[in-house]
Structure 1
Amino acid sequence: MTAPPELTKVLIVEDHRVVAEGLWALLAEYSDLTVVGWADSVAETVPMAKELKPDVALVDFRLPDGTGADAAAGIRAHDPSVAIVILSADASDSALLAAVEAGACGYLLKSASGDEIASAIRSAAEGETLIPASTLVEVLARHREDARSTAEQNERLDSMTPREQEILTLMSQGLDNRAVAERLSISYATVRTHVRRILEKLDARSQLEAVARAAEFGFKPAQPEGPEE
């Protein structure tokens, strides 16, 4: 007689009970998979993984005390043989990169079908990497571009003097140049000079665009300091 195939043991890590119960019921429909337990937090995950010794952990990315990446790192620090499949509603590049860095071999969105989830669990248990190299290359390229863009934005904001930041703050409150001059007790010509420099530094064509770009860059309004040319 042929021995029955060994079941793949799955640990579910999900903080929403209804989702966890749904996944448990879903995986019970596949004869080669068995759910051995459910953890609802990062803190609970590692002790449960130690006790239950799953082959695969199916982990939500957003947990009440951390992320799926935290849970994955904790599991694999104890037992690197446990395969990690992240199941999340977060489709961001940052979440995917965090999961990969923590040792996850798969990343599925919660819109995935039952068959897709089961297939991913099987593949992970066999040691397969479910995230295509081409996808990682694209994500890393976008991540580097975002980092460069953020650095450039910070550099533009940092290049502004305290007075320019002060005037930009008043601009964002809707004050025109004459009102800014009156508020700060400086000349209208001085305000115009500062505004021109602000537009140059933010690569903006108008004061409205400068205000919008500064907000996009994370500008934090400065407090008025009083008269000063």
Structure 2
Amino acid sequence: MNSPPDLITVLLVEDHRAVAEGLWALLDDYDDLTVVGWADSVAEAEPMTQQLSPQLALIDYRLPDGTGADAAARIRAHDPAIAVVILSADTSDSALLAAVEAGASGYLLKSAGGDEIAAAIRAAAAGETLIPARTLMEVLARHRESARLTDQQTERLESLTAREQEILALMTQGLDNRAIADRLTISYATVRTHVRGILEKLEARSQLEAVAKAADWGFRPTPPAPPPQPPEP
């Protein structure tokens, strides 16, 4: 498709037809922008890019067969000169980082107005990065801290002995120490000793807090083994 040199050609990647049509109509209101096509999935985005050679892809982050970051990575692997702006309802740090790692120049929320979207398209097509370095540094810092805390939580859960894990699993079922002792056929004093160990390792002040922390950290109790079946006659 031959276009005037100052006309920015845009490919839409959006799985909801009504949204795509709305964006198409919105961008048509700007004399320097023109939509050249629409893809509704990650799989369709790359071949549409090869066929239409747009200057920029405006991509929804949530697609039926992946993310906008997946689509961006495929598009830019085919042609790194194509700019990418992600349009998303996802405000998470992980989504923003994935978009940046895939080569997106901008990341806009779907609440953005037409002028903001048009301005982002123009800037990205001109080679500008729309995500401030300070914002990206803050996101990376939060991401690293979250990863550190997750590793720490995993280590604490893995520090529990097999018996402590067994008792914690029963605690998550609402059993008190006496009931746990009866269930495991061990002494009440032994259960209390193990519970103290669980609280210490999880840095919990009560059994309720230990159960809450374990659930939040991804503790998955191992289901009890089924009782042995009597031999068949």
Is this a same-fold pair by TM over 0.5? yes
CA displacement 1:166-191 (0-9 Å, x = unmatched)? 10011111110000000000000000
Matched with 2:161 is 161
Matched with 1:222 is 222
User: TM-score normalised to the size of structure 2?
Assistant: 0.94
Matched with 2:189 is 189
- Where in structure 1 do 4 or more consecutive aligned residues deviate above 6 Å? none
Q: Let me know the Cα RMSD of the aligned residues.
A: 1.2
Alignment of 1:56-205 (within 5 A): 56-205=56-205
> In structure 2, what residue type is equivalent to 1:203?
E
> In structure 2, what residue type is equivalent to 1:170?
L
Q: Distance in 2 between matches of 1:153 and 1:198?
A: 13
> In structure 1, what residue type is equivalent to 2:84?
I
Q: Unaligned 5+ residue runs, structure 2? A: 226-233
Aligned-pair CA distance for 1:223: 3.5
Secondary structure at the residue paired with 1:175?
Answer: coil
CA displacement 1:46-98 (0-9 Å, x = unmatched)? 00001101011000111111111111011111111100000000010000000
Secondary structure at the residue paired with 1:29?
Answer: coil
> In structure 1, what residue type is equivalent to 2:209?
E
Identity of aligned residues (%): 77
Q: Distance in 1 between matches of 2:23 and 2:162?
A: 55
Matched with 2:39 is 39
Aligned-pair CA distance for 1:6: 2.0
> In structure 2, what residue type is equivalent to 1:78?
H
Q: Distance in 2 between matches of 1:159 and 1:150?
A: 14
Q: Distance in 2 between matches of 1:139 and 1:116?
A: 22
Secondary structure at the residue paired with 1:193?
Answer: helix
Matched, 1:210 2:210: yes
Aligned-pair CA distance for 1:147: 0.4
Whether the 8 Å contact between 1:15 and 1:39 is mirrored in structure 2 is yes
Q: Unaligned 5+ residue runs, structure 1? A: none
Aligned-pair CA distance for 1:162: 1.0
CA displacement 1:88-130 (0-9 Å, x = unmatched)? 0001000000000000000000010110000000001100000
Matched length? 223
Aligned-pair CA distance for 1:5: 6.1
Matched with 1:16 is 16
